[in-house]
Structure 1
Amino acid sequence: MTHEAVGTQRGWNDRLPPAKAYKPLSGLSRDKRTAEQDKAAGGRYRRAVPLGKGQFARASITLRLYRRTRRIRAYLRWSVSGYTEERYVCDVAEATRAANLAHAWRKAREAGLAVDEPLPESSTATSMSVRAVMTANKGADTKPELLLRSALHRKGLRYRVGVRPIPELRRTADVVFTKVKVAVFVDGCFWHGCPEHYRPSRQNSEAWSKKIKDNRDRDVATTNALKDQGWIVLRFWEHEDPELAAREIKATVERRKAVV
């Protein structure tokens, strides 16, 4: 396969590039390597390589150091029928691996080597970005919830998961401390309209805006209903640090134990 450049950058002229510009961290799990590629590409759905006839493969960017020329080259790699395909994308010269991966993904997209994965015919989402968010938002045991629960467990707290604080009220909390009446909710940034990360859909925006508003109104109603019954309600956004959230929860639970 020929290696025709689709974009180049100035290399390091008088020294070898630093390891942090191209080497992955040692011991990275497969999930973390995938997350690294997803972040650099701008989403997993943006890592598609067209194979023809409506077929796509998911690609990754590999960075290689060529010591003789003191250059880092980026290659797009994907698998087809068990065989690995590779295409040279560009030289990179940013200071960090993350920046070099992001630069290479941009060049791959500009050259048409990587594209957005199309929506499945059965999907009701308005775009792949919306579908990606919808898919990531499970009803229970989401990654932010699991991280928070692990942090709480390390702090010696015991709790119930995914139960109704008030049985007759059809509202389920993510973490519940029944005896001291503390209910914890981990709100997803998309579905609950996070002021930092929520971005309204440009397509069918009126319907989506109503959906998010209904969710937020329901959150307020849930919080008020629980408070009326003597519960303390703690809400955290999914992007918040689970350790800091766990610290606040533990302090709240301990204060309640002192008065209950």
Structure 2
Amino acid sequence: MTTNLPMIEVSNLGKNYGSVKVLSGVNLSIQKSEVVCILGPSGSGKSTLLRSMALLETYQEGAIYIEGELLGFKEAGGKRRPATAKETSYTRRNVGFVFQQFNLWPHLNALSNVALPLMLARSLSRSAAEKKAIEMLERVGLASHAKSYPSRLSGGQQQRVAIARALAPDPHIMLFDEPTSALDPELVGEVLQVMKSLAREGMTMAVVTHEMGFAAQMADQIVFLDGGKLVSKAPPEEFFRESTNPRIQQFLSNFTERNSLLHDPNRQSAAG
């Protein structure tokens, strides 16, 4: 019997920083090959939600399941205990994460930045890891820069190396935390093109972004957070054109061309 479990299931998620509640009662399901863009004002909990999906932030309430496996905890006899580091690594083995900052090792060239994690985390030989790294750099259009160090790469190129590094272990899910926010405007497009390519290939993706065009053109669902709560989950057409929620309308008032965002002839469902 085939089950159709969500790739990511967030159930009644709560997260505190001390006495400050940053996420409260968040429920979200992301299906295979679905692209979900997470929008909201600064401080709404977007990045905290995304980081919780990879357990880069420890949550206190509710549950997160990755392909049906509880993340961060183990349950037995009706009780829950924190998972060990080994158990957590196993649960999130199929999750790739791309940060706002590129987080490349400055003393390693692009090839080694992609290959070394495969050698350390997946125990690949150097030759096998470098072969895989070249494939991933080619996938993001940077095979010719394999020997370049981060200081000789543009911000967009560095972020594409970071994406190649996240893709190298063949994840089932990719999480992007505002991947273009640290880039000069003219470099944003090259990163978004890689992300669009992944979406069209059927990669399951959750993306925290301020790039409204990407959200309108590529998302299957748009999630809107405000004050740590999930206010809305809707298809792009409904979110941008039909939402009557005053908070969403206020947020979108900064994007006067939001209707035209939906009229891209290249737009297609990421789920195919």
TM-score by length of 1: 0.23
Rg larger in 1 or in 2?
A: 1
TM-score by length of 2: 0.22
Q: Which of 1 and 2 has higher RCO (CA within 8 Å, sep 6+)? A: 2
